[in-house]
Chains A and B, each alone.
Chain A
Amino acid sequence: SQQGEEDPQALSIQEGENATMNCSYKTSINNLQWYRQNSGRGLVHLILIRSNEREKHSGRLRVTLDTSKKSSSLLITASRAADTASYFCATYTGTASKLTFGTGTRLQVTL
């Protein structure tokens, strides 16, 4: 079963707009991670936010974490066509070794 559920499942925006993706999870966490996957490729780690952090930035990425609501959001500002990809949140469940991924958000950025 999936630990995380991303929302929306798919998102289509124009270049220059901001894209926001949400992730909800079920169990308590030590950290939450976001990954990106281009079509037909492996996943690439984007950012990790710890449970005692509320917000984190990396370039055009902004991640927030609300442990009381068991939710996180990923904001991509000033999106580019190259940001077109699927984005997944992930958390460790059960053990410190088992990383479980959400269902993903497919982002399409058009010119």
Chain B
Amino acid sequence: SQTIHQWPATLVQPVGSPLSLECTVEGTSNPNLYWYRQAAGRGLQLLFYSVGIGQISSEVPQNLSASRPQDRQFILSSKKLLLSDSGFYLCAWKDTAGGKLFFGSGTQLSVL
């Protein structure tokens, strides 16, 4: 069966520090991968999605970037965090046959 791993669960970082969040998927090949961000009590904002290795689509211009170095690995990065980068970050993969997404457990990022 397929599983998705996302870590860390919580992260507190100072303004201006770098960021690296990692997401890996097991049990499937060539999935579509997604990064979403959710502000407290709000909906989900699509940040990046990837349909294959090295293929990244950016939805929101900001100081975040994403990379997909391997088929089942998706990384969200920043060189210098801003206060506005605080939020709940969710990774997901897509079941291409059915179209539904499967989500990781999320990372709560607080930038102080």
Residues of A in contact with B (beta carbons under 8 Å apart)? 2, 31, 33, 35, 40-45, 48, 88, 90, 92, 96-104, 106
Q: Would you call the interface of chain A mostly helix, strand, loop, or mixed? A: strand
Where the two chains meet, the residues of B that have a C-beta atom closer than 8 Å to any C-beta of A are 6, 32, 34, 36, 41-44, 46, 49, 51, 57, 59, 88, 90, 92, 94, 98-106, 108
Contact status A97-B103, CB under 8 Å: no
In the complex, A45→B94 CA distance in Å? 11
Chain B residues, Cβ within 8 Å of A92: 99
Q: Which residues of A contact B36 (CB under 8 A)?
A: 101
With contacts A97-B94, A98-B49 taken as known, whether A45 is within 8 angstroms of B100 at the C-beta atoms is yes
Contact among B6, B94, B100 with A48 in the assembled complex (CB-CB below 8 Å): B100
Report the separation of the CA atoms of residues A45 and B51 in the bound assembly, to the nearest whole angstrom: 20
Residue in contact with B105 in the complex, picked from A42, A104, A106, CB distance below 8 Å: A42
Closest CB pairs A-B (n = 7): A42-B103, A101-B44, A103-B43, A45-B100, A43-B103, A42-B105, A104-B43
Knowing A42-B104, A48-B98 are in contact, say whether A103-B42 is a contact too (CB < 8 A).
Answer: yes
- Bound-state CA distance A31–B34 (Å) is 19
Within 8 Å CB of A102, what residues of B?
A: 43
Q: Which of A44, A98, A103 contacts B103 (CB 8 A)?
A: A44
Residue of A nearest to B36 (CB): A101
The distance from the CB of A43 to the nearest CB of chain B, in whole angstroms, is: 5
Q: Complex: how many Å from CA A86 to CA B17?
A: 32
Q: Judge whether B59 and A98 touch: CB under 8 Å.
A: yes
Chain A residues near B102 (CB, 8 Å)?
Answer: 45
Neighbouring B residues of A40 by C-beta, 8 Å: 88, 106, 108
